[in-house]
Amino acid sequence: MSNFINSSIGKKLIMSISGLFLIVFLLVHLTANLFLLGGSDAFNLSAHFMGTNPVIQIMQPVLALGFLFHIVYSLIVQFKNWASRPVKYAKVNQKEASTWVSRNMIWLGIFVLAFLTLHILNFYWKLQFGEIGTVVVNGEKMENAYALVAGLFTEGGTLAYIYSGIYIIGFIALGLHLHHALWSSFQTIGWSNIKWRKILTVIGDIYAILIAVGFSIIPIYFLFIR
Amino acid sequence: MAHKTINIKLRVWRQKDAKSKGGFENYELENISVDSSFLEMIDVLNEKLVSENKEPVAYDHDCREGICGMCSLFINGRAHGPDSLVTTCQLHMRKFSDGETITIEPWRVGSFPIIKDLMVDRTAYEKIMQAGGFVSVSTGGVPDANSVTIPKADADEAMDAAACIGCGACVATCKNSSAMLFVAAKVSQLALLPQGKVEASRRAKNMVAKMDELGFGNCSNTGACEMECPKGISLAHIARLNREFLAANIRG
């Protein structure tokens, strides 16, 4: 077993499984977030459900582990990859051979991680440890998560535009990361061939666009539509 | 018939031996026929160097018809240069323009140390083959037709994988210096056929272990190897290797 986990394919399998887990998480996250478009009560109910549902509570530490494995193993794999070419080429031209995204997954990932840190400080941290106003929906008292989101993207004049901009750029980087992610994780598990590669890359692109556009709608909605 | 020629500038990596520090040397060649192959162009350069009492450029070559896998060279940032599905001996000077500066480097892979100038030591590939790229039992002579039935699709795919000439372009072009396409081709070629299936698990485990041990990087599915492979070996073989390797480890 340790031979397997320490092998190149074993390490990549950890990247792949943790990545697929995060892919599923993003869908759940997006679904919960889109209730923002339904107004204050709808989103507060959705956030309250996510905050109190026992399944979600159990999944929270699992999710943290998923991120941890994906990040730690990406670095382990990447450092080995850099070490495999001690002397670099003076000239490299890979325009025709591979996509920019597939070559820069580590940098897109690091960018997304930086964005994730900001995102956790903006919302999760405040919800867990900060002072959030409460609101009563359907006779039940709950945290006013809607006001927190609306506040970030509308209050503070220029600051709201800066935050919206950062979030949209973060979502674009995430979308680009996902463009290579889905097909690549299936390939690593071995569930791909010439035919399925085409299908999986199309599904991966649809998914990547769904995530990038779906999340970007939120700051755009608060800034320009609401 | 008018004979078209071009003048070119070369930027060639020169390195005395494995331990010496190398560097680029610049050369200029005139009246190079566009119909000559890239290696013939280097031969012209070497004749010129010899006539000037200088050390000729060392580079690997053998069959010069695209099947031996000896010729290497990273030309203008691409393995085997600016053409698809060819080795360097099949690359022609018509792919370059008059007055162009051509950068020629050896494969830059930690596991393929430079021997001299543009020559690299690809023994690492031999070691991977020795770890499992074979069928142990003697399978006898050619069997009678249809006595061993193999589905046409499997036979075709095994043949596609068997087209690998072990040139190292996949590792050379891979941003991770991963040998996965090479190992995948060798594993696929045998795992798809009844003679090789028996040892499929052990083969996948041993070849991957050897590949890791020799310091090759981890595949990140960029697909550059497939695009630069002179034989067009598909990434689908890497998926098969992953399957074989996972299955082998699940079976124990």
Q: Residues B34-57: pLDDT tens digits?
A: 999 999 999 999 999 999 999 999
Task: Give ipTM to 2 decimals.
Answer: 0.93
Task: Look at residue B1 in the predicted model and tell me its pLDDT.
Answer: 56
Task: Examine the fold and report which residue of B86, B115, B144 is the final residue of a domain before the chain moves on.
Answer: B115
Tell me the nearest-neighbour CA distance from A201 into chain B, angstroms: 12
Same domain? For B108 and B171 the reply is no
CB < 8 Å to B212, chain A = 7-8
Same domain? For B110 and B159 the reply is no
Number of domains, chain A: 1
Task: Look at residue A115 in the predicted model and tell me its pLDDT.
Answer: 98
CATH number for the domain that contains residue B70: 3.10.20.30
Same domain? For B60 and B150 the reply is no
Domain assignment present for residue A185? The answer is yes
What is chain A's alpha carbon radius of gyration, rounded to the nearest angstrom?
A: 20
Specify the long-range contacts of residues A180-183, CB closer than 8 Å, at least 24 apart.
A180/A99, A180/A101, A180/A102, A180/A105, A180/A204, A180/B221, A181/A19, A181/A23, A181/A105, A181/A208, A182/A20, A182/A23, A182/A207, A182/A208, A183/B221
Task: Look at residue A1 in the predicted model and tell me its pLDDT.
Answer: 67
Tell me the nearest-neighbour CA distance from A24 into chain B, angstroms: 21
Number of domains, chain B: 2
Task: Look at residue B205 in the predicted model and tell me its pLDDT.
Answer: 97
CB < 8 Å to A193, chain B = 236, 239-240
Residues of chain B with pLDDT under 50: none
Task: Examine the fold and report which residue of B70, B91, B115 is the final residue of a domain before the chain moves on.
Answer: B115
Domain assignment present for residue A201? The answer is yes
Question: How far is it, in rounded angstroms, from Cα A6 to Cα A103?
Answer: 23
Same domain? For B152 and B205 the reply is yes
CB-nearest to B77 from A93, A103, A187 is A93
CATH number for the domain that contains residue A78: 1.20.1300
Task: Look at residue A130 in the predicted model and tell me its pLDDT.
Answer: 82
Full domain range(s) for residue A169: 2-82+99-225
Domain assignment present for residue A93? The answer is no
Using a CB–CB cutoff of 8 Å, tell me whether B183 touches chain A: no
Domain assignment present for residue A88? The answer is no
Residues of chain A with pLDDT under 50: none
| Residues A187, B242: C-beta atoms closer than 8 Å | yes
CB < 8 Å to A10, chain B = 249
Interface test with B, best of A79, A88, A91 (most B CBs within 10 A): A91
CATH number for the domain that contains residue B139: 1.10.1060.10
Same domain? For B159 and B90 the reply is no
Full domain range(s) for residue B24: 5-115
- Sequence-separated (6 or more) residues with CB below 8 Å from residue B5: B30, B31, B32, B33, B34
Task: Look at residue A40 in the predicted model and tell me its pLDDT.
Answer: 95
Task: Look at residue A128 in the predicted model and tell me its pLDDT.
Answer: 86
Task: Look at residue B2 in the predicted model and tell me its pLDDT.
Answer: 63
| Residues B228, A97: C-beta atoms closer than 8 Å | yes
Same domain? For B104 and B164 the reply is no
CB-nearest to B218 from A11, A88, A90 is A11
CB-nearest to A84 from B103, B177, B209 is B177
Using a CB–CB cutoff of 8 Å, tell me whether A87 touches chain B: yes
Interface test with A, best of B176, B188, B243 (most A CBs within 10 A): B176
Task: Examine the fold and report which residue of B115, B132, B156 is the final residue of a domain before the chain moves on.
Answer: B115
Q: Tens of pLDDT along A122-143?
A: 999 998 888 888 999 998 999 9
| Residues A8, B178: C-beta atoms closer than 8 Å | yes
Secondary structure of chain B in the HEC alphabet?
CCCCEEEEEEEEEECCCCCCCCEEEEEEEEEEECCCEHHHHHHHHHHHHHHCCCCCCCCCCCCCCCCCCCCCCEECCEECCCCCCCCHHHCEHHHCCCCCEEEEECCCECCECEEECCEECCHHHHHHHHCCCCCCCCCCCCCCCCCCCCCHHHHHHHHHHHCCCCCCHHHHHCCCCCCHHHHHHHHHHHHCCHHHHCCHHHHHHHHHHHHHHCCCCCCCCCCHHHHHCCCCCCCHHHHHHHHHHHHHHHHC
Same domain? For B158 and B70 the reply is no
Same domain? For B43 and B161 the reply is no
Task: Look at residue B35 in the predicted model and tell me its pLDDT.
Answer: 95
Same domain? For B109 and B142 the reply is no
Residue B7, φ and ψ in degrees, nearest 5 = -105, 135
Same domain? For B69 and B136 the reply is no
8 Å CB contact between B81 and B75:
yes
Same domain? For B84 and B102 the reply is yes
Task: Look at residue B24 in the predicted model and tell me its pLDDT.
Answer: 98
